[in-house]
Amino acid sequence: MRHLLANIKIKVDENVYLKDPESTEKGRQIIQNAILLIDELGLESFTFRKLAEKIGTTEATIYRYFESKHMLLVYLISWYWNWLEYRLVFATTNIAAPEHRLRIAIGILSGKVEDDMDFAHISEVILQRIVVAESAKAYLTKDVDADNKEGFFLSYKRLCRRISAIIQEISPTYKYPDSLVSTVAESAHYQLFFAQHLPSLTNIDNGQNNQLQDFLTDLVFKAIEEK
Amino acid sequence: MRHLLANIKIKVDENVYLKDPESTEKGRQIIQNAILLIDELGLESFTFRKLAEKIGTTEATIYRYFESKHMLLVYLISWYWNWLEYRLVFATTNIAAPEHRLRIAIGILSGKVEDDMDFAHISEVILQRIVVAESAKAYLTKDVDADNKEGFFLSYKRLCRRISAIIQEISPTYKYPDSLVSTVAESAHYQLFFAQHLPSLTNIDNGQNNQLQDFLTDLVFKAIEEK
DNA sequence: TTTTTAACAATAGTAATACTATAGTGTTTC
DNA sequence: GAAACACTATAGTATTACTATTGTTAAAAA
């Protein structure tokens, strides 16, 4: 599978960046080290200056790629959702049963990362940690509406729509397919976060990867079951 | 009910503040106007300087009550969860059927605010908007573990434990009562947020208050139903 | 009543932050 | 050979979160 992915590039919507970081070596350095540094410091303490220092350049260079720290975060998150969507499409083609496809989708949302599915300069495991801890900050802003109009959240919406469609295939009468999908997607994040940091809020045991998937799968299939 | 509440004070854990804002007029002014200002500007643009200006004082005064902006947010959120817990206990005493109590709990988590249940200087409706939009930022930090050790999240955990206990009463074999409760609590927040700002991610129609409650109630009861 | 204490106001200051501006270097492109 | 471009280097701005100090007032303790 690796050689197949060598020819694949996860594309992020054009108006998220000023200059495509995938198009140059410096750009890829920025992405790669931004992921490492945000994971290490947290979004609040992460600055363009520190990132510039780390890759031996100056803030000005990074600002040529991304308008702001916020947009860099939006970029990383969009990349992540596009990556999940790619994996979902790949894993569900030629599978007839929508129940089976839904199971796969929930597995992907639960954060199962197969290590052979990696891209050169992006550490997917670390990126996932960032998405868990920081993605909510991308939309919990006074600028949501403006950002939404600019299309910054299209990747997320596209993935959710796709999974919602599977649910509607299984259970056309279920009234809340979109809410269910976004609930599962978000739940997956903070259940992982709670398992690590606030364990009394969850029954998911850190490390036992399948518990989260089990919890969410159970939740979804019971919710949409037709009587 | 109002005159009953006149004698009730929602108490926030002592180590969340430096000086109890409920103990002085200035303190109550700080809380009241902080709620208004955070709602208006969003947490990022909200500053102690602006708040001080609004209530005709200086930053120094506010810093005597709260160590930092972060702690003020923690205070507001703790107050909110304590308020929900109070309402939950009040609304479920003397109700025998755990199913009925659980229904009430989900209603409260869904954000049903009865207007007659208000405290003098705290606008619960606005506070709820703040909790929806900003509460995740209180724990999505590099300091979670330290903050958690200090007991900053006890209110939230206490409320969740209480509801989790009801679930266990109904369905002692269900494996994920804590995860289910925190999922519902968090889901309630961003489903409301999505309904307002990213409507394609939800089927909840803004304004139709019962939809959210319906969605969550359906989700929970189906999940814990024993076969 | 005097003394002490506390709450607050007023002012100033610090290091860091997010970002902008500008000038210059080296490499590629027409 | 000139223009365009990517990047570096340096400097600067307004604002931020927060600290420190000093002075005023008003109430509590002696």
Q: What is the pLDDT of residue A177?
A: 98
Element containing residue B28 per DSSP (H, E): helix B25-41
Rounded Cα distance, A147 and A130, in Å: 20
Is any atom of nucleic acid chain D found less than 7 Å from the CB of residue B118? no
Residue B40: closest C-alpha in chain A:
A142
**How confident is the model at residue A8, as a pLDDT?**
72
Nucleotides in chain C with any atom closer than 7 Å to protein CB? 7-12, 16-23
| Mean pLDDT score, A175-183 | 98
* Mean pLDDT, all residues of chain B: 92
Q: Round the CA-based radius of gyration of chain A to a whole number and report it.
A: 18
Question: Are A219 and A176 a contacting pair, CB within 8 Å?
Answer: no
- To the nearest whole Å, the CA of B126 is away from the closest chain A CA by 15
* Confidence check: pLDDT of B2 > 50: no
Q: Is the Cβ pair B219, A215 closer than 8 Å?
A: no
Cβ–Cβ < 8 Å for A171, A224: yes
Hey, of A149, A198, A212, which one would you mutate to test binding to chain B, going by the most B CBs within 10 A of its CB? A198
Nucleotide nearest to B63 (CA to C1'): D18
SS3 (DSSP) at B176: coil
Is the Cβ atom of B57 within 7 Å of strand C at any atom?
yes
Q: What is the pLDDT of residue B51?
A: 94
Chains A & B: contacts with CB separation below 8 Å? 141
Predicted local distance difference test score (pLDDT) of residue A9: 79
Number of alpha carbons in the 13 Å side-chain half-sphere of residue A30? 29
Write out the two tokens for A6: 């060598």
In the Cβ-directed half-sphere of A137, how many Cα atoms lie within 13 Å? 22
Q: Which of A171-175, A193-197, B5-9 has the lowest mean pLDDT?
A: B5-9
pLDDT above 90 covers a percentage of chain B that reads: 83
Listed in sequence order, the residues at least 6 apart from B28 whose beta carbon sits closer than 8 Å to its beta carbon are: B21, B22, B120, B121
Residues 6 or more apart whose CB falls under 8 angstroms from that of B77 comprise B131, B134, B135, B138, B155, B156
Residue-wise pLDDT for B45-90, tens only, equals 999 999 999 999 999 999 999 999 999 999 999 999 999 999 999 9
Give residue-wise pLDDT tens across range A34-78.
999 999 999 999 999 999 999 999 999 999 999 999 999 999 999
Nearest CA in chain A to B135: A140
Partners of residue B144 in chain A, C-beta under 8 Å: 197-198
Phi, psi (degrees; rounded to nearest 5) at B134: -120, -15
Give just the sign of the alpha carbon dihedral B36, B39, B42, B43: positive
Please check whether strand C approaches the CB of A48 to within 7 Å: yes
CB contact at 8 A, B35 and B126: yes
Phi, psi (degrees; rounded to nearest 5) at B124: -65, -35
pLDDT of amino acid A5:
52
pLDDT at A117: 59
Banded pLDDT at A124 (limits 50, 70, 90) = confident
CA B57 to C1' D30, in angstroms, rounded, equals 32
Taking the CA of residue A168 and the C1' sugar atom of nucleotide C18, their distance in angstroms comes to 45
Q: Which two tokens stand for residue B61?
A: 């005064």
In chain B, residues with a C-beta closer than 8 Å to the C-beta of A140 are: 133-134, 136-137, 193
CA distance A206 to chain B (A): 13
Amino acid at B151: G
**Whole-angstrom Cα distance, residue A153 to residue A74?**
8
Nucleic strand C near CB of residue A64 (< 7 Å) = no
DSSP assignment letter at B119: B
- Residue B81's SS3 state is helix
CA of A51 to C1' of C1 (A): 66
Q: Which domains does chain A have, with CATH numbers?
A: 2-224 (1.10.357.10)
